[in-house]
Chains A and B, each alone.
Chain A
Amino acid sequence: MALLNILNFPDPRLRTKAKQVTDFNKKICELTDNMFLTMYAAPGIGLAATQVNVHQRIITIDISEEKNQPLVVINPTILEKEGEQATDEGCLSLPGIYEPVKRYDKIRLKAQDKHGKFYELDTEGLLSVCIQHEMDHLEGKLFVDYLSEMKRNRIRKKLAKALKA
């Protein structure tokens, strides 16, 4: 097990579109284990493989306070969606930035676990937001893309400054 390096905005590699996972081998299990380790250490509640420079459709999530409800989401698709909610989102690739983003309130998710087994999941609230946020990563999209140009520039400058210091 090893901690992985998380890419930071505006790293262009974060814009890569991830590929479907077709071969569920030992490497996938190893990767998800490392992703959980990295995510818990950050600390974060969700991590997409894109953020650790692996461009496959793999996500790890755990929104519980006790860090005891790990969820592996591979090759996800949203089957149904309804409602709308806006919560302040943050991202491990943009440390310290929190901005409200509009998302679907409830989604029905279809995905595979780390062994390739299909499952469906009805979610709402934070978990639903987190899944949508991570699925954006797999498309090369970041939550700041939903903000205005002005806000995004300000965040870019803020992060650059923080990096220098």
Chain B
Amino acid sequence: MQKQNTKKLSTIAATASIINSVIKNKKSLPDCIAEHQQKINPEDTPKIQAYCYNILRRYEFYQFIVNALLDKPLKNKDQDIYHLILSSVMLLNEGNLPAHAAINETVKVTHKGKKAWAKNLVNALLRRYQRDQSDLHHAANDCLVSRYCCPQWLLKKIQLAYPEKKKGTLQWQTILKANLLHPPMTLRVNQLINSREDYLALLSEKNIAAQPCPLTKHGILLQQAVNVEKLPLFTKGAASVQDSAAQYCAELLNPQASENILDACAAPGGKTLHLFESCPELGQLTAIDISAKRLEKVQQNIMRIAPSQKDKFTLITANASDTKSWWNGKQFDRILLDAPCSATGVIRRHPDIKRLRKASDINALLITQQQLLSQLWPTLKQGGLLLYATCSILPEENALQIKAFLSSHNDAQSVNFDVSWGQPCEYGQQLLPTQSSNDQTDKTNKGNSDGFYYCLLQKK
């Protein structure tokens, strides 16, 4: 037998092919990159990854430009050429390659992809882009969808939800702008192993620039993303990667010694382990997830952070709202419900969400959230607490969802908490994706966080 001598793709060919499969197969970007791994040189991977994220962050913008360049739309089967042009336009605009080299490289790809007919087209369009760049950019910025690079349906929803002016700018504009930014890499220090100060010292020993993440107890902001393997004592569980917005969950739910805790949608386990770190004396921690594969990640995290205490964790693969299938009848003291949601708060981290989510998905998610809330409620002890969390910024998944729940559950009440982060809603607290200055003295600094929602409910 002979192994296929896989010819490695050039960075531009790989980028275009990955983007094409995200759009065509509606698969997540990390999955598509993984599928291409064999066809790309390992040393090119970080560059290709960065290109792909850049393109998906500003897909509508480049789409507008390529559509303007094309005299007539390309056929469906030639979407690979479309995405090749689009990737090349991104490179010409944001890349640091000389323009002639980028164009040359792109034209070459058409040959290798057995689409030599497209050679002249690609060449002509890219040269036209070079010539008319500023006009095209002006035109693209005149249209809201391509200016904020957000699908029309989502743009409308965000406009409707956040119409007010804050600090002189309309809030929806601030959100959409923040969605285009590169997210920071944020760590959560394991307080059982070391303090934030200790860990910052360890980081500076390794020349990793970092600072405490404002408004969090254990968060650290890295100046630049690094591979987790480079983080000191990572495999020993001294720190985990977690956005600051997600780090408020443990202090809000605040588990206590010997309590019976449920994490209803646990994978990949970042918050599960945070709950444990905040109170290792807790009684039992049940972690449920619908996907067995994703639940393995929780297991890995347990083995990394709390291998000696693994008996405290019970992992169950189940649909949490189908309580008959998994619940033993013993009520919980506290429940974390980090519900499946539109993920519209983490677009800056996962720009592929803008391509993968459809307007029609939202209704299905609303029903799932309702079911989870109402089915899990009976599993909570009287006087117990349920923390509802989403990484969504849409009110219908958050405060409105809770409002509906409260109106139909007389034994539920929302607990107020006084915090310095986020903005209060009728029920709960909403964090918005923000761009923060790194100025520590800035009192209005809301931290650099993803969009997130928390509401704490108590059973009367």
- A98 contact set on B, CB distance < 8 A: 4
In the bound complex, CA of A130 to CA of B3 (Å): 9
Q: B1 at the A/B interface (Cβ < 8 Å)? A: yes
Q: B408 at the A/B interface (Cβ < 8 Å)? A: no
Q: A18 at the A/B interface (Cβ < 8 Å)? A: no
- A44 contact set on B, CB distance < 8 A: 1-3
Q: Are A91 and B2 in contact (CB under 8 A)?
A: yes
Bits for B7-19, please: 1 = Cβ < 8 Å to A, else 0.
0000000000000
Bits for A66-100, please: 1 = Cβ < 8 Å to B, else 0.
00000000000000000000001111100100100
In the bound complex, CA of A126 to CA of B1 (Å): 10
- B1 contact set on A, CB distance < 8 A: 44-47, 89-92, 129-130, 133-134
Q: A29 at the A/B interface (Cβ < 8 Å)? A: no
- B4 contact set on A, CB distance < 8 A: 88, 90, 98
In the bound complex, CA of A83 to CA of B93 (Å): 47
Q: Which chain A residues in 101-123 approach chain B with CB under 8 Å?
A: none
Q: A160 at the A/B interface (Cβ < 8 Å)? A: no
Q: A3 at the A/B interface (Cβ < 8 Å)? A: no
Q: A147 at the A/B interface (Cβ < 8 Å)? A: no
In the bound complex, CA of A89 to CA of B2 (Å): 7
In the bound complex, CA of A126 to CA of B3 (Å): 9
In the bound complex, CA of A43 to CA of B4 (Å): 10
- A42 contact set on B, CB distance < 8 A: 2
- Looking at chain B's contact residues, is the secondary structure mostly helix, strand, loop, or mixed? loop
- Number of B residues, CB within 8 Å of A: 4
In the bound complex, CA of A98 to CA of B3 (Å): 9
- A45 contact set on B, CB distance < 8 A: 1-3
Min CB gap A117→B, angstroms: 24
- A134 contact set on B, CB distance < 8 A: 1
In the bound complex, CA of A63 to CA of B1 (Å): 10
In the bound complex, CA of A45 to CA of B2 (Å): 6
Bits for B33-59, please: 1 = Cβ < 8 Å to A, else 0.
000000000000000000000000000
In the bound complex, CA of A49 to CA of B255 (Å): 67
In the bound complex, CA of A93 to CA of B3 (Å): 13
Min CB gap B157→A, angstroms: 42
In the complex, the chain A residue whose C-beta lies closest to that of B2 is A90
- Determine which residue in B2, B3, B4 has the highest number of CB atoms from chain A within 10 A of its CB, and name it: B2
Bits for A130-153, please: 1 = Cβ < 8 Å to B, else 0.
100110000000000000000000
In the complex, the chain A residue whose C-beta lies closest to that of B1 is A46
Min CB gap A99→B, angstroms: 10
Bits for B255-277, please: 1 = Cβ < 8 Å to A, else 0.
00000000000000000000000
In the bound complex, CA of A27 to CA of B1 (Å): 23
In the bound complex, CA of A46 to CA of B2 (Å): 7
Min CB gap B231→A, angstroms: 29
Min CB gap A124→B, angstroms: 16
Min CB gap A145→B, angstroms: 14
Min CB gap B255→A, angstroms: 42
Bits for A32-45, please: 1 = Cβ < 8 Å to B, else 0.
00000000001111
- A46 contact set on B, CB distance < 8 A: 1
In the bound complex, CA of A63 to CA of B3 (Å): 9
Min CB gap B350→A, angstroms: 30
In the bound complex, CA of A14 to CA of B4 (Å): 21
Min CB gap B387→A, angstroms: 41
In the bound complex, CA of A91 to CA of B3 (Å): 8
In the bound complex, CA of A3 to CA of B3 (Å): 20
- B2 contact set on A, CB distance < 8 A: 42-45, 90-92, 95
In the bound complex, CA of A98 to CA of B1 (Å): 10
In the complex, the chain B residue whose C-beta lies closest to that of A47 is B1
In the bound complex, CA of A89 to CA of B3 (Å): 7
- A129 contact set on B, CB distance < 8 A: 1
- Determine which residue in A47, A63, A90 has the highest number of CB atoms from chain B within 10 A of its CB, and name it: A90
In the complex, the chain B residue whose C-beta lies closest to that of A137 is B1
Min CB gap B143→A, angstroms: 43
In the bound complex, CA of A45 to CA of B1 (Å): 6
In the bound complex, CA of A65 to CA of B4 (Å): 13
CB-based closest 9 A-B pairs: A90-B2, A46-B1, A133-B1, A44-B2, A98-B4, A130-B1, A45-B3, A92-B2, A88-B4
Given A45-B1, A89-B1, A91-B2, 10 extra CB contacts under 8 A: A42-B2, A44-B2, A45-B2, A45-B3, A63-B3, A90-B4, A91-B1, A92-B2, A95-B2, A129-B1
28 cross-chain CB contacts under 8 A: A42-B2, A43-B2, A44-B1, A44-B2, A44-B3, A45-B1, A45-B2, A45-B3, A46-B1, A47-B1, A63-B3, A88-B4, A89-B1, A90-B1, A90-B2, A90-B3, A90-B4, A91-B1, A91-B2, A92-B1, A92-B2, A95-B2, A98-B4, A126-B3, A129-B1, A130-B1, A133-B1, A134-B1
